[in-house]
Every structure is written in structure tokens, then in C-alpha cells.
Structure 1
Amino acid sequence: MDHLFTVDGCSATPVPPTALAAEGLFERQHLQEWVIAHPAVLGDEVLVITSEFDRWADTDGVPAWDRLDILGLDATGRLVVVELKRGTADRDVHLQAITYAALVSRFDLDTLAQAHRDFLKGRGESLDLETCRQRLLEHVDGDWSPELLQRPRQVIIAADFPKQVTHTMVWLSEMNLDIDLIQAGLWKVQDQLVVGFTKLYPTPEVEEFTLAPARNEAKAAAQKLEERSGARKAVHVIVEAGLLPDGTRIRLVPRHGATETIREAIHVWMGEDSSRGAATWTNGSANQLTWEADGRRYSPTGLAKHIFTSVTGRKADGIQGTTWWDVDTNHVPDTVDPDDWAALAGLSLVRLAKQLSGSGKDWTTLHSLLASLPSGRWTTYGDVAIAVGSAALPVGTHLSTCGQCPNPWRVLNAAGQVSAGFKWSDPTRTDSPADLLAAEGVSFDTGTADPSTRLPLETLKNLLDD
């Protein structure tokens, strides 16, 4: 973040940057603790395993003096090695990160569980070794992979980076080594310190157009990582968008990673017990599917692999489970409009995620827009979603569960009718949105609002700018 301003109406005043050292803040006591408390700085769904780790030795058994700042584990099953600098990074900081990555690449599950137990103990949380092992296993989406542990991702966080480091990062990335550079900026706003973390490299454009081709040519471990990352991204998008309400029925349609013969065998196997092909969705960071066959929770990929192995007796490899699961549109949740729900027929989780890419939960903007809807006019879930950068179903689900949305009765379905999923947050209310709109002057013909009183989409967008 290069520029920060305080805003008072149309006036913006620059906030001068400061530095950790100038404010008496330290690398270990402060910067490190901020990252541990908020591991999202390191990427999606990173579990901090340990910090200040120094319990390793060389081949002669002599302890090494190197101290790893933070070690994490992401949901794809890769270790995350974090190096922190409160000021400008040293010119050889990347060598430190590579050294730590090489050291931890030989760690196994037992080593990591031990380190996690010791880390938690030092922070007043006492867990036994087996519980720590289970925590690590459950954090990973899919089977535990020693191959992926050998390919740690590295993150260097500093106030600034010399050109020698940034130039080297570009080359190392092209050589298929993953190192992220994150800049930590500090400002003082009215005696309140504000810290910001900005990913300098690689940017999304670099990852997509420069690094992705190289990674596609990597060996099997890199391919497995890409598949898992894609699955995690799809699930993350759906959860963040709030598309699928808890309890949504999901049905099995085997696709990616299974031959036609295996797919036919799975369909026969499902025919023997209908519960084998059904699951229910629960929003969360892990294990979103509850399988009806055994009542246990799995990730989409984890359950697809379990089913593959159950039918074939072989280990599943290279399966992207988000392609295996479709929304069961025969079962409509109470909080959604049936017409909107029917539009999801035949879509797998990964295809839903692609449709929703960029959608989010900016409900502050939504509330602002709803508050500005004029009396005697109505709009649709779809138009509201376009205006706030979301999708119709998440908007409808939020309106039915929020309890604080202003003017919810002025939002109808695409046909200009009250959504079948609409409900008041106050269960004692007996009036309908149509009653309120009629009182405002909107006429209804057999349950359909007068189209001349519908707000055009452009007018809706302009309300946000006013």
C-alpha cells in the first residue's frame, strides 16, 4: 500500500508512513505475533504449526543455531516457511528462506505434531501428541502427502526489499520455486498505529500468465498441488459468497479422474444404496460435506476419493472432487427462490465457483443500497446482486436471514413476485412484502408487481454513487 489517506467528505489528507523501529516495535514481540494471530496474511487457510523453531541438528548431531520465525501448513498439504524482517530485508534474505525450506522439507507428520504440541504448550494450551496429529491431518484437504511436504512454500515479510531480492525472486519463481514477498507498512492515524500487508510478488497476473505454464510442466507432486489448490479455491469461493445454505442437498456425479468404466461401476454401487450418492452441505473452512451413507464429514475431494477407493479397491489419485458433486435442485432450501435454485441444475461445485468468481459478502454495500431504495419502487435479487458485485442466491439468502436489512420488501424475484423463500426476521409478522408495496402505491396483478415501478439497473447502480 503506497498511499494512505484520512477522508473527510471530499477531502483526503495523506497519512505519513512510519516504521516499526521508530515506534519501538520489534520483529519477534510484535510483527511475529501479528502474523500468528492473523495467518490469513500468509494465504488462505494456513494453520500455524510453530514459531521460533530451532530444534534441528546437522548430520553430525550438532545443533543448528538457525531459528525459523514461523512454520505453517496450508490446506493443500504444503508447509509454509515464513521469514520476518521489521525493516528492509537483507540482500540474502531469500537464502535464509531457502535454507529453512530445505530443513523442514524432511519433516514428517510426527515431527510436525511434536513441534505443534510444544508451540501450543508454550502459549498455555495443553494438547496431547495424538490430538495435534489429528489437527494437522484434518486441516489438509485430502490425503496426507509426504511428496507435498517436500515442496514448502516460502513467505518473506519485510518493510521493503532491495532489488537484488526481487530480481532473484522472479528467477526462482520461473524455476518453479514458490516464494512470496509481502510488504508490511506502518502508519500512525490520529495516534493509532495501522499496519498493512501487501503482496508484492507474485501478483495474480504473474501467477496466471508467467508461473502457471512452468508449473504445468512440473512433476507429479506439483500437479497434485495444483489440483488440490483448484479444489480449495472452488470451495472457498462458494463458502465466501454464501451461495449454498447449510443443509443443501448435494448429489454425486463422478467425473474428473475416473474412467467411463469406473463411473459406471460407481453408479451401480450407488444403486444398491441411495444414501451413497447423497450428502448435505455445511459452510465452513473444512469438511463441508456430510455423507448420508455414514454420517461423517468430508471435503468434496476427500469424499470423492473415499468413494473411488470403496468401489475400485485402488488408491485414488488425481481426482478433483469439486467436479464430482452437483446441487440437488429437487430439494429447495427454505431461504431461496425455487426459480433461482432451479437454475443451478446440472452444475458441479467447481462450475458454480467459476460463475461466482469475484462474488463476495460486501453486505455493508448491500445495506447501503437497500436503505436508498425509494418508496413505491421495487427491484430484483439479480439486479441488486449485479449492483453490489455478488450473485442472486447469496443476496436472497442474506435478506432472509439478516434481520437488519432495510426495506427487504422492495426486493422481488425476477418475475416481479414475492420470493417463495422470503421470510421476516420477526416470526410474528403476518403481512407480506406485497402488502407493504401496495401501501406504497405499487399495484399487483395476480401476484406480479407493476413492471413500470421497477427500478432500472442503471438507476440502482446510481443509488450507490449518490
Structure 2
Amino acid sequence: MDHLFTVAGRSATPVSPTGLAAEGLFERQHLQEWVIDNPQILGESVLVITAEFDRWTDTDGVPARDRLDILGLDVTGRLVVVELKRGTADRDVHLQAITYAALVSRFDLDTLVQAHRDFLASRKQALDLEACRQRLLDHVDGEWSPELLQRPRQVIIAADFPKQVTHTVVWLSEMNLDIDLVQVGLWRVGGHLVAGFTKVYPTPEVEEFTLAPARVEAKAAAQKLEERSRARNAVHVLVGAGLLPDGTKLRLTPRHGVTESIREAIAAWVGEDDSRATATWSNNTAKPLAWEADSKAYTPTGLANHIFHSVTERKADGIQGTTWWVVDTSHVPDDVDPDEWVALAGADLASLAKRLNGTGKDWTGLHNLLGAIPPGRWTTYGDVATVIGSHAVPVGTHLATCDQCPNPWRVLNAAGRVSTGFRWADPTRTDTPADILTAEGIRFDGDTAAREARLPLDELQRLLGS
């Protein structure tokens, strides 16, 4: 952030920058604590494992003097090595970061668990080793990968960087080392200090190029990161959209990352015990699948990897597990209309997430739209979902449990019938949506509403904007 201003109407007054040293602030007592309290500075979803770590020894057993400022863990299972400088970085700061990365690349889960327990204890947070272990495992989307631990990401935070550092880091990135440079700025505004953190390298435009591995082993690690990120995003999209109710049954259909012969071997293995082919969904972004074969919780990719290993006795590599699990529409969850549910037949988690990307559970638009539907007209869950950017299933599920939705009886299923999942917010009501619609002038042929009373999609869209 090169320029900062205080603004009063048309007037913008520059704010002069200051620095940590000038304000009597230090790396350990201040800058380090800012980062620990706000780990988003280090990237998306980073868990701080430890700080001030110095419990390593050389080959002779003599304690080393090196002190790692902060060590984090991201959701893909990679370590994040953080080096802090309150002023301009030293010309060899990248060498320090590389040294720490080399040291922690030999860490295993037990080492990290112990370090995390000690770190929390130093901050008056009591957590035993088993709880710390579970915390680390739960933070990672997918199974724990020792291979990914060997490729730490490095973050150097400083007030400024000399050209020797920036030029060298660009070259190291091209040589497949993952290094971020983050600039910390400080300003005094209205009697308060304001700190800003700006990622100066790699920029979004060059990040894809500089971090694209060229060596075979680097490509494998990058692919695994990509697959985990895709799986994580799919789960978050589905949970955020509320598409799949808790208890949704999923069936195993191996797709991505396996050959036809392995698919046949998995099918034969499943034939020995059908519970191996079934999982139950819960809206938990950490581990949303409960496998019927052992009742344990997994991520989609974690379970796919487990099944792959059980069948082949080999370690899976690069499987996108969200493509392996398909909605079993023969099991209809409560409060879901069967006619809408059957539309999900054959859809896997990855394709559903792609369809719903950007969809959330803010129902304000739905409530506004329902309130605008006039008496004597009806619409469908699918048309409402199209207009508000959702899906028929979460719309129907919401209407079945909402006590604030206006005119819920004016929404029918795709066949023009009252959904079997429809519920009144007032359980004492004995009339039906069909009774009200009939009173409003809509004709029914048996249990199906007259098509001429259905609102066209374009008219429904205009109602939302009115």
C-alpha cells in the first residue's frame, strides 16, 4: 500500500507512513502476535502450529541456535514457514527461510503435535497430545500426506525488501520453491496506528507461472494440492448452498484417477459387502461422509483414497474423490419432494458443486419473491430456484421449515402438485395448499393445478425486480 489518505468529502489528505522501530514496536512482542492472531495474513485457512520454535538439534545432538518465527499448516496439508522482519529484510533473509523450510521438511505428525501442544501451553491453553493430534488432522482436507510435509511454503514478512531478495525469490520460485513476500506498512491515523499487509510477490498474474513445477516430483505434489483444493471447494459449495440434507445417501461410483481394471476390482470388492458402496452425507465441511462399512467420518477424497488402498494395496495419488460419490435418489430425505429429488439421479458431488458455485443460503430474495406472487397464480420450486440462483431441493427444504416465508402454498413441484414434503409452520392447521389455491381461483384436475395459472419464468423474474 503505497499511499494512504484520510478523506473528508472531496478532500483527501495524505497520511505519512511510520515504522515499527520508530513506534517502539518489535518483531516478537508485536509483529509476531499480529500474525498469530490474524493467520489469514499467511493465506487462506492457515492453522498456527507453533512460534519461536528452536527445539532441533544437529547431527551431533547439539541444540541449534536457529529460531523459527512461526510455523503454520494449511488445509491442503502443507507446512507454512514464516520469517519476520520489522524493518527492511536482510539481504540473505530468503536463505534463513530456506534453512527453516529444510529443517521442518523432516518433521512428522508426532513432532508437529508435540510442538503444537507446547505452543498452546505457553499461551495458557491446555490441550492434551491426542486433542492436538485430532486438531491437526481435522484441519487438513483429505488424508495426512507425509509427502506434502516435505514441500513447505515460505512466507517472508518485512517492511521492505532489497532487490537482492526479490530477484532471488523470483528465480527460486521458477526453480519450484514456493515463497511469498508480504510487505507490512504502518501509519498513524487520528491518534491510532494502522497496520497493512500487502502480498508483493508473487502477484496473481505471475503466481500460476512461477509456481508451476517443472520436475516430475514437483508436478505430483502440485497435482495433489490441486485435487485437494478442488475437493475442499466442492464440499464448501455444497454445504453453503444447502443442497444435500443431512442423511442423504451416496453411492460409490469410481471415476477420476483410476483405470478401468481398477474400477472392476473395486466393483468386485464392493460385491463382497454392499455397505462398502454406501456413505451418508452430513453438512460438515471437515468430514462430511460417514462410511457405512465402518461408521467413520471421511472427506470424499479421503474415503476414495482409503477404498483405493484397500483394493490395490497401493497408495492413491491425485484422486478427485468428489467425483466418486453419486446421490442415491432411491432414498428420499424427509421434507424433500420426490419429483425434485429424482432430478439429482446420477449426479456426483463435483458436478453438483460446479452447478451451484456461487450459491448461498441467504433467503432474502426468496422471501421477497414469494411475497410478490399474486393470488390465483402458482410457480415451481425449480423456477423459484432459477430466479434466485439456487436449486429446487434447498428451496423446497427451506419452505418446509420456514415460519417467515410468505405465500408458501403458491409454490408447487414440477408436476404442478403439492409437494409431499410441504409442512405448515403452524402444525395446528388442517387445510391444505390446494384448498387455499382453489379458493384463490386456481382450478385443479385431480391433484394437479391448472397450467394456465402457472407464472412464466420471465414474469417471475420481473416480480423479483419489482
TM-score (norm 2): 0.78
Contact 1:47 1:72 in 2 (8 A): yes
Shift of 1:442: 7.4
Q: Secondary structure at the match of 2:367?
A: helix
Distance 1:367 1:194, change over 3 A: farther
1:262, distance to aligned residue in structure 2 (A): 2.7
The code of the aligned residue for 2:114 comes to Q
What is the aligned residue count? 457
Q: After TM superposition, list the pairs within 5 Å mapping 1:284-323 onto structure 2.
A: 284-323=284-323
Q: Distance in 2 between matches of 1:424 and 1:29?
A: 58
Q: 1:447 aligns with which of 449, 452, 460?
A: 449
1:459 aligns with 2:462: yes
Aligned-pair CA distance for 1:431: 5.5
1:367 corresponds to? 364
Query: Which string of whole-angstrom CA distances, capped at 9 and with x for unpartnered residues, describes residues 294-339 of structure 1?
Result: 2111222222222233333444444332222111122222243434
Q: In the aligned structure 1, how far is the partner of 2:189 from the partner of 2:124?
A: 34
Which residue does the alignment assign to 1:70?
70
Q: Determine the C-alpha separation between the residues in 2 that align with 1:43 and 1:274.
A: 41
Please state how far the C-alpha of 1:268 moved relative to its aligned partner.
Answer: 2.4
CA deviation digits over 1:406-429, x for unaligned, max 9?
665665555665554444555455
Structure 2 residue aligned with 1:154 = 154
**SS of residue matched to 1:116:** helix
2:342 is matched with 342
Name the residue aligned to 1:111: 111
The secondary structure found in structure 1 opposite 2:352 is helix
Q: Deviations over 1:27-76 (max 9, x none)?
A: 54555445444545544443321122222344555544443332122232
Provide the C-alpha distance between the structure 1 equivalents of 2:290 and 2:127, rounded to a whole number of angstroms: 27
2:372 match: secondary structure: coil
Kept in 2: contact 1:16–1:187 (CA 8 A): no
Change (3 A) 1:339 1:14: farther
Q: 1:92 to 1:425 in 2, by over 3 A?
A: farther
> What is the CA deviation profile of residues 247-295 of structure 1, one whole-angstrom value per residue up to 9, with x for unaligned ones?
1111111223333233223222322322111010112232221111221
Distance in 1, matches of 2:265 and 2:182, equals: 48
Deviations 1:55-110 (A, max 9, x none): 23445555444433321222322112234456776666544433322221121222
CA distance in 1 between counterparts of 2:423 and 2:195 reads 41
Q: Which moved more, 1:337-346 or 1:159-168?
A: 159-168
Question: Which residue of structure 1 aligns with residue 226 of structure 2?
Answer: 226
**2:84 and 2:157 in contact (8 A); partners too:** yes
Q: Give the Cα separation in 2 of the matches to 1:205 and 1:424.
A: 53
User: Contact 2:247/2:282 (CA < 8 Å) preserved in 1?
Assistant: yes
Determine the C-alpha separation between the residues in 1 that align with 2:360 and 2:45.
Answer: 17
> 2:258 is matched with which residue?
258
User: What does the per-residue CA deviation read over 1:183-213, in whole Å, with 9 as the maximum and x for residues that have no partner?
Assistant: 6678999999887766555466655566447
Q: Provide the rounded CA distance (Å) in 2 between the counterparts of 1:284 and 1:89.
A: 42
Contact 2:250 2:280 in 1 (8 A): yes
Q: Is 1:231–1:350's contact at 8 Å kept on the other side of the alignment?
A: yes
2:239 is matched with 239
Residues 6 and 14, structure 2, Cα contact 8 Å, conserved in 1: no
Is the CA contact (8 Å cut-off) linking 1:216 and 1:223 kept in structure 2? no
Code of the residue aligned with 1:227 in structure 2: it is E
Alignment-mate amino acid for residue 459 of structure 2: P
Deviates more, 1:141-150 or 1:199-208: 199-208
Aligned residue runs from structure 1 range 181-192, under 5 A: 181=181
Separation in 1, partners of 2:191, 2:420: 51
Specify the SS of the correspondent of 1:71. strand
Structure 2 matches for 1:412-427, cutoff 5 A?
413=413, 418-425=418-425, 427=427
SS of 1:343's equivalent? helix
Read off the aligned partner of 1:456 and give its amino acid letter.
Answer: E
Tell me the equivalent position of 2:269: 269
SS of the aligned residue for 1:124 comes to coil
Alpha-carbon spacing, 1:333–1:40, altered in 2? closer, same or farther (3 Å): farther
Paired letter, 1:451: R
Larger Rg: 2
Q: Quick one: structure 1 residues 394 and 277, their matched pair in 2 at CA, closer, same or farther if it must change by over 3 Å?
A: same
Contact kept in structure 2, 1:249 and 1:279, CA below 8 Å: yes
* One-letter amino acid of the structure 2 residue matched with residue 223 of structure 1: Q
- Flag the 1:314–1:215 CA change in 2: closer, same or farther, 3 A: closer
Structure 1: how far apart are the matches of 2:113 and 2:92? 30
Q: How much does 1:142 deviate?
A: 4.2
Deviation of 1:119 after TM superposition, in Å, equals 1.0
Task: Give the structure 2 partner of residue 178 of structure 1.
Answer: 178
Taking structure 1 as reference, are residues 97 and 432 closer, same or farther at Cα in structure 2, changes over 3 Å only? farther
Contact preservation (8 Å) 2:81, 2:100: yes
CA shift in 2, pair 1:345/1:88, >3 Å: farther
Query: Does the C-alpha gap of structure 1 residues 109 and 424 become closer, same or farther in structure 2, counting only changes over 3 Å?
Result: same
The whole-number CA distance in structure 1 between the counterparts of 2:435 and 2:6 is: 44
Q: Output the CA distance in 1 between the equivalents of 2:3 and 2:333.
A: 45
Runs of 5+ consecutive residues of structure 2 not aligned to the other structure: none
C-alpha displacement at 1:161, in angstroms?
6.3
SS, match of residue 258 in structure 2? coil
CA contact (8 A) 1:367 1:405 kept: no
Matches within 5 A, 1:81-92: 81-84=81-84
In the alignment, is the contact (CA less than 8 A) between 2:372 and 2:464 conserved in 1? no
Counterpart Cα distance in 1 of 2:437 and 2:24: 59
Q: Structure 1 residues 207, 23: closer, same or farther in 2, change over 3 A? A: same
Distance 2:215 2:387 in 1: 37
Once residues 278 and 130 of structure 1 are traced to their aligned partners in structure 2, the CA distance between those partners, rounded to angstroms, is 29
Contact 1:89 1:158 in 2 (8 A): yes
Give the structure-1-normalised TM-score.
Answer: 0.78
- Secondary structure at 2:329's aligned position in 1? coil
Query: Partners in 1 of 2:405 and 2:184 — Cα distance?
Result: 36
Identity of aligned residues (%): 73
Q: CA deviation at 1:113?
A: 1.6
